[in-house]
Structure 1
Amino acid sequence: MQTVAAFTDTYLPTVNGVTYTLESWRDRWRDRGGRMDVVFPGAPDYEPGEGEYATRSVGFPFYDGFRFGLPGVPDEVRDADLVHAHTPFALGLSGLYLALRIDVPLVASYHTPTSEYADYIANGRTATAIEGVARQYERWYLNHARVVVVPSEPAREHLRGIGIDAPVSVVPNGVDTEFFGPVDGGDFRERYDLPDGPLVGYTGRHGFEKDLDEIPAAFDAADTDATLVFGGDGPARGALERMTAEYGIDARFLGFLPREDLPAFYSALDAFLFPSPVETQGLVALEANACGTPVVGVNDGALADTVVDGVTGYHFARGDTTDFADAIERTLAGRPTLSERCLDRRERMSVEHAVDRLAHVYDGL
């Protein structure tokens, strides 16, 4: 069984899909008798565990709490059979350097379209220029990989569209179905002082690129007596709070949720609202489904595939408030049947299934 050196910019104890996916992959790889070491940006309050190697890092000025890893290759990972980079940036370059230095294959995971984040640091023509540079860099980096791993077919199509010539394999991130499953949400409601009755909402990073500002208008337009709940945090939270206040919505903002609370949060919801068009898979949608909660998702990007219309939730057209509101109503009306269908699909969305496919990719190298 192969020894894998994984390089990532996000391996920290935060609510981050890439972090938890990599943790799950690492643990399942160990269960198979292999070794997966993780190289990540160090943080002042995080002590690396077995098989974890921190590099020096600095704070990221555009995203509070994020650490930018400085290039580095720990001696402990120089005996790897292959390198798997989960980032194209500094630590991804370290992974590329290591792969070339010890002459082993480089696998690159594509989790996030970096060009979509240009508006975080600029606007107007400057943002357009940054987006162009980001696309060029993505092409340069990913075309150095022996194979690129993406979590969905739309992500593969996106890479083909921007000129990635390297082989691209679809390997869904997978959900830890031993952790994410239906539970009684009553205690969660009580601890967070949530009212009785239907709940709809979202948890995750509150980023402007995720179109979360479409939620208040659609919720206001929907014919429902549900309560709107947001978990998580991020730069768009202030704007969301202002918008819900303008609509007179009694929205509850819970802030960052500990990971152990997520199954109860999802289970307490009657519908998970996910308007983001920039996902490469939308892992939180699958986590919600694994807990039996249907998703109202935009019919754009990876969510066009991740949400199975009429089975695990309903789609709506991006930017169409009326369609979004209608999808919320249909999801709430069909919640019992949709929930059963979500639970029927748990095995195919599991991380074990994903690691089987990842192992097939590794074996092909």
Structure 2
Amino acid sequence: MGRTVAVFTDTYLPTVNGVTYTVQTWRKRWAERGGRMPIVYPGTNDYEPGEDEHPVRSIEFPFYDEFNAAVPGVPDDITAADPELVHTHTPFLLGLSGLRFARSHGVPLVASYHTPTAEYADYIAEGWLRSPVERAARAYEKWYLNRAEMVVVPSEPARHHLREIGVRTAVEVVPNGVDTDRFGPVDTSRFAEAHDLDTGKPLVGYTGRHGYEKQLDLIVEATDGMDVTVVFGGDGPARDRLEKQAADADVDVRFLGFLDREDLPAFYSALDVFAFPSPVETQGLVALEANACGTPVAAVDAGALSDTVVTGETGYRAPPGDADRFRAAIERTLAERDALREHCLDRRDAVSVDHAVDKLSEVYEMLL
């Protein structure tokens, strides 16, 4: 009989991002192994909960349209499930509920570290306020993680960052993992026709949240004047600014908006290069999904992307914030894309979610 692990997260459906995807995928694989992961998340009118999904009341978050702030609490069904362990995917709101539940029921707490919280200061503070908000975020992050029995991070650079800010709790690297049953090379003709992508030019693209911290403007700046078509999938608060920048640039830029997850394998497969300038990734799951579809990545040499993108095998990296060097990385990745594609496909098994859940199970057993 598998273990029962109560999951608490501030990010879940209908919002689609890396955290939501990871939580969903781990729960599915855990259930396939005979375990249970009842989940507590902010409820909305746009999503009907399924089995073992327990929404709590939430309100719209004033600083970020796509996020609902949960009213902290623990549904009775979680207590009835008698979990052997609590796993939180947030240090805030429902993360605090998970911490209190673990303490009151005498079970271990595992905390996943997905995103450096200080990087989101742009959403709530400007000018001189930004620095103190960042310091407060780091201090709180350290306080919370030091109260867990184990912290789970998706990459070695993320572990190093936590040690630098003073997290003393044991930290284990558990990659988020890619669902290689879903993400692999597919025929792209229908997708390309539906989105008018048969431009006769190489396709350079990105999909994911359009957040300011992702520095997506570097893609437009780096490709300005290049004979390529730039394709953005996804949405977010930085999109308006990005569209204005693209309108003034000498490059063909297309904005596809939010893409259904079923369309992502075709999106990745259609690209010649996946461009990823974000310096704040703790793993960069979309880069691994692109690789699993045979698409190499041009990324910045920062955060987890320093490990996720293997130079000369799955793509090339450039210093963060340097448009000229990022352009050179894109050009080199385009020039070598056929050889890089084969290396990407050779690494599919190594990045699969099954390996990730194997490691997650080992972490749980360490504590239990």
TM-score (norm 1): 0.98
Aligned to 1:63: 64
> What whole-Å deviation, never above 9, does each CA across 1:161-191 have from its counterpart, x for those lacking one?
0000000000000011111111011111101
Aligned to 2:362: 360
Q: Is the 8 A contact 1:211 1:275 kept in 2?
A: yes
Secondary structure of 2:31 counterpart: helix
Aligned to 1:256: 258
1:167 to 163, 166, 170: 170
Q: Distance in 2 between matches of 1:72 and 1:15?
A: 23
Report whether the alignment pairs 1:202 with 2:206.
Answer: yes
Aligned to 1:280: 282
Q: Is the 8 A contact 1:221 1:321 kept in 2?
A: no
Task: Give the residue type in structure 1 aligned to 2:341.
Answer: S
Q: Distance in 1 between matches of 2:264 and 2:61?
A: 26
Task: Give the residue type in structure 1 aligned to 2:86.
Answer: V
| Greater CA drift, 144-153 or 333-342 | 333-342
> What whole-Å deviation, never above 9, does each CA across 1:98-117 have from its counterpart, x for those lacking one?
10011000000000100111
1:118 to 102, 117, 121: 121
Question: Gaps spanning 5+ residues in structure 2: where?
Answer: none
Superposed CA RMSD in Å reads: 1.0
| Greater CA drift, 212-221 or 83-92 | 212-221
Change (3 A) 1:221 1:302: farther
Q: Distance in 2 between matches of 1:237 and 1:126?
A: 24
1:298 to 297, 300, 306: 300
Task: Give the residue type in structure 2 aligned to 1:74.
Answer: P
Segments of 4+ moved more than 3 angstroms: none
Q: Is the 8 A contact 2:228 2:252 kept in 1?
A: no
Q: Is the 8 A contact 1:221 1:325 kept in 2?
A: no
Change (3 A) 1:196 1:250: closer
1:339 to 338, 341, 363: 341
Report whether the alignment pairs 1:29 with 2:30.
Answer: yes
Secondary structure of 2:111 counterpart: strand
Secondary structure of 2:275 counterpart: strand
Aligned to 1:45: 46
**How far is the alpha carbon of 1:74 from its aligned partner?**
1.1
| 1:82-231 matches, cutoff 5 A | 82-197=85-200, 198-220=202-224, 222=226, 225-231=227-233
**How far is the alpha carbon of 1:34 from its aligned partner?**
0.9
Question: Gaps spanning 5+ residues in structure 1: where?
Answer: none
Number of residue equivalences: 363
Q: Distance in 2 between matches of 1:76 and 1:111?
A: 26
Task: Give the residue type in structure 1 aligned to 2:234.
Answer: G
**How far is the alpha carbon of 1:13 from its aligned partner?**
2.8
| Greater CA drift, 277-286 or 121-130 | 121-130
**How far is the alpha carbon of 1:64 from its aligned partner?**
1.1
> What whole-Å deviation, never above 9, does each CA across 1:28-71 have from its counterpart, x for those lacking one?
11111111111100011211000100000011111112111110
**How far is the alpha carbon of 1:214 from its aligned partner?**
0.8
Q: Distance in 2 between matches of 1:201 and 1:15?
A: 19
Secondary structure of 2:360 counterpart: helix
Secondary structure of 2:38 counterpart: strand
Q: Distance in 1 between matches of 2:325 and 2:149?
A: 42
**How far is the alpha carbon of 1:221 from its aligned partner?**
5.1
Task: Give the residue type in structure 2 aligned to 1:40.
Answer: Y
Q: Distance in 2 between matches of 1:91 and 1:291?
A: 34
Aligned to 1:232: 234
Aligned to 2:247: 245
% identity of equivalent residues = 66
Aligned to 1:11: 12
Q: Distance in 2 between matches of 1:45 and 1:245?
A: 33
